[in-house]
Amino acid sequence: MLEVKNLMVFFENALAINGLSITVNKGEIVGIIGSNSAGKTTLMNTLSGLIIDMQIKEKRRGGERISIYGNVTYQARDITLMKPDERVKMGIVLSRERHPVFPESSVLENMKIAGYLRRKKEIKKTMQYVFELFPALTKLKKRKAGFLSGGEQQMLAIGMALIVQPDLLLLDEPLLGLSPMMQKSVVDAIRDLNKSIGITVILSEQFARPVLPMIDRGYVVESGMLSLEGTGEELMNNPEIKAAYFGV
């Protein structure tokens, strides 16, 4: 479904991604595991096309030079230089880290804004699923997103991504800053949307412990380079992973 070959991303002379290659098959949950500043967000921005927008904006204002090398192929089509809106139309949707929402708009309004590419009937149907997936949001439909807790905003951000009806959902650090209870709710929801409606998921995360039991396969990234790969079970039982992420 998705293949990344020898990806390299430079910010000026700083190398953020270094020769990274990954594959994602349809229906999988694939984890990108790494510590802070490992290159996870840069990878997700590259897969979603946000890096292309950043590149264009920086060039216009004479700012930081962003260079991209290698290939990103989605459903046998080269999308390396494709803009993010074109990727969204192909079914690639990113839910960014730190749950960005429209704080002055209500939960319902946020979802409607996210569904600008969809018909009203489609939006309504997907909204019903989102509220089933995240029951905590049901009583908060009319509340402004800025007054939601961090976990509730994360649920809303994932819900907004689902309104677009993605084939490939990119989740960048979905557990960041959440309590253990809220982390479990989000992990359970990711499992559900993958199993019940067949969405392929790539998630980047530094909190490996709650993520590894859920993923089909995972890649460990360090300093923008691939360090380890394997099934979720293989990574969980790897002594290096235990030492680095579990403190064992």
Render pLDDT for 65-89 as a digit per residue (tens, 0 to 9): 999 999 999 999 999 999 998 999 8
Extents of the domains making up the chain: 2-246
> Rg for the chain (alpha carbons), in Å?
18
Q: What is the pLDDT of residue 99?
A: 64
| Amino acid 202: pLDDT | 95
pLDDT beyond 70 at 248: no
- Is residue 27 predicted with pLDDT exceeding 80? yes
- Distance between CA atoms of residues 164 and 158, nearest Å: 10
SS (H, E, C) 105-116: CEHHHHHHHHCC
Q: How many helices (H) and strands (E) does the chain have?
A: 10, 10
| Mean pLDDT score across all residues of the chain | 87
Using CB atoms within 10 Å of the CB of residue 105, give its burial: 0 to 12 exposed, 13 to 18 middle, 19+ buried.
middle
Strand partners, 219: 32, 229
Q: What is the pTM of this model?
A: 0.87
Q: Which fold has domain 2-246?
A: Rossmann fold (3.40.50)
Residues 156, 101: contact at Cβ < 8 Å? yes
103-125 confidence digits (pLDDT tens): 899 988 888 888 776 777 777 88
> Does 135 score more than 60 pLDDT?
yes
Cα separation, 2 vs 25, whole angstroms: 7
